[in-house]
């Protein structure tokens, strides 16, 4: 007892150290046991996978022929693949010859923009003044930065979008937006571009586009129908429709009229309102099969 009193601090320190050592030992043992259990489970999963990999699918029996069923399902999948392929036809780039040179692209761009402007005029579709169909940055250039294949592909796709709107005879095309694919796009107006990037997975690439236009409900129905049945796999991701504002002279002449039953009074006339439409489009392009 006298020794304990003389070495009290030493005894207290020893007791605390022993307690900490015991706690640490228990903690190490507990975690080692847990790690051992996890390792055992992992080894069990690996062994099961090895066993399954070494097995052969059962061909079936007299009642169920698994081999025949598998062949029939494969045939159905191949037929569906062929039938669905017509809805995923790629849009031809402009120009079509690769590699695309600056001279070839500059000439093709001017020619395509002029063609679209004439098509809009023939379809009575109003365009913004000197509209370049989202290629304002590229129109005055004769030399371009980087590869021109992405721009050539976009030019073909924008032409397809514009012609769908022209064929529907919308009242006015306010703009088409595309994603930036060239260093030259950094100098163009923001109204020509979308902030959304494209997406690519194991099966396809998805390219975003936007289109703003004004029309009446019959033309809007035609636009939606044409994008739906188009062979180039355009998907309408979202659509925003609002009144375009006051009735224009053209809208007044194109307004639909529905006469009411004659009650001896004034004839009732229903005038359709001009709409402003914003489409958010996605173009799905299947990747080449390996």
Whether 252 shows a pLDDT value over 60: the answer reads no
CA distance 70 to 77: 11
| C-alpha 280, offset from chain centre | 10
User: Residue 288: its pLDDT value, please?
Assistant: 75
Q: Cα(286)–Cα(89) distance, rounded to whole angstroms?
A: 8
Q: What is the mean pLDDT of the chain?
A: 78
Whether residue 12 is predicted with pLDDT greater than 60 in this model: the reply is: no
Residue 239 φ/ψ, nearest 5 degrees = -140, 130
With 0-12 / 13-18 / 19 or more C-beta atoms within 10 angstroms meaning exposed / middle / buried, residue 56 is exposed
The top-level CATH class assigned to 102-260+267-286 is alpha beta
Q: What is the mean pLDDT of residues 145-172?
A: 95
- Higher-confidence position of 198 and 29: 198
The pLDDT, as a whole number, for residue 32 is 43
Res 15: pLDDT: 44
For the chain, what is the largest distance between any 2 Cα atoms, rounded to a whole number of angstroms? 127
Closest of 219, 136, 157, 145 to residue 181, by C-alpha:
145
Query: What pTM did the predictor assign?
Result: 0.67
Each residue of 48-79: pLDDT tens digit? 666 656 666 666 666 677 777 778 777 877 77
Q: What is the mean pLDDT of residues 191-210?
A: 90
Token readout for 40 is 């055992």
Distances (CA, A) of 24 to 16, 44, 262: 12, 30, 98
Which tokens is 215 given?
A: 């029309």
DSSP label at 214? E
Residue where the block lists tokens 């009193």:
5
DSSP string of 3-69?
Answer: HHHHTHHHHHHHHHHHHHHHHHHHHHHHHHHHHHHHHHHHHHHHHHHHHHHH-----B-SS-BHHHH
Mean pLDDT on 174-200: 93
Q: Assign 263 a pLDDT band (cuts: 50, 70, 90).
A: very low
The Cα-based distances of 222 to 26, 60, 165, 230 in angstroms read 75, 52, 9, 12
pLDDT digits (tens, 9 = 90+) for 101-151: 999 999 999 999 999 999 999 999 999 999 999 999 999 999 998 889 999
DSSP 95: S
DSSP three-state, residue 137: coil
Q: 185-203: b or e for each residue (b if 16 or more CB lie within 10 Å)?
A: beebeeebbbebeeeeeee
Closest alpha carbon to 153 in 198, 211, 202, 118:
198
């Amino acid at each position: 007892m006298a020794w304990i009193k003389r070495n009290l601090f030493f005894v207290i320190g020893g007791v605390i150290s022993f307690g900490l050592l015991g706690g640490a030992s228990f903690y190490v043992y507990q975690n080692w046991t847990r790690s051992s259990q996890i390792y055992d489970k992992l080894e069990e999963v690996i062994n099961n996978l090895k066993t399954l990999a070494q097995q052969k699918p059962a061909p079936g029996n007299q009642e169920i022929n698994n081999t025949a069923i598998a062949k029939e399902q494969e045939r159905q999948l191949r037929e569906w693949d062929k039938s669905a392929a017509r809805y995923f036809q790629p849009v031809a780039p402009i120009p079509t010859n690769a590699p695309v040179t600056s001279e070839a692209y500059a000439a093709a761009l001017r020619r395509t923009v002029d063609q679209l402007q004439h098509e809009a005029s023939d379809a009575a579709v109003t365009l913004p003044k000197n509209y370049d169909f989202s290629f304002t940055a590229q129109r005055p250039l004769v030399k371009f930065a980087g590869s021109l294949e992405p721009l050539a592909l976009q030019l073909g796709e924008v032409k397809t979008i514009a012609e769908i709107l022209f064929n529907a005879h919308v009242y006015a095309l306010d703009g088409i937006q595309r994603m930036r694919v060239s260093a030259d796009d950094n100098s163009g107006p923001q109204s020509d571009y979308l902030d959304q990037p494209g997406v690519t997975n194991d099966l396809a690439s998805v390219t975003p586009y936007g289109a703003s236009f004004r029309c009446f409900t019959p033309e809007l129905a035609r636009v939606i129908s044409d994008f739906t049945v188009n062979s180039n796999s355009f998907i309408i991701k979202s659509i925003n429709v609002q009144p375009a504002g006051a009735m224009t002279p053209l809208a007044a002449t194109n307004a639909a009229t529905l006469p009411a039953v004659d009650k001896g009074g004034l004839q009732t006339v229903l005038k359709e309102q001009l709409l402003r439409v914003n489409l958010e489009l996605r173009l799905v392009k299947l990747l080449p099969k390996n």
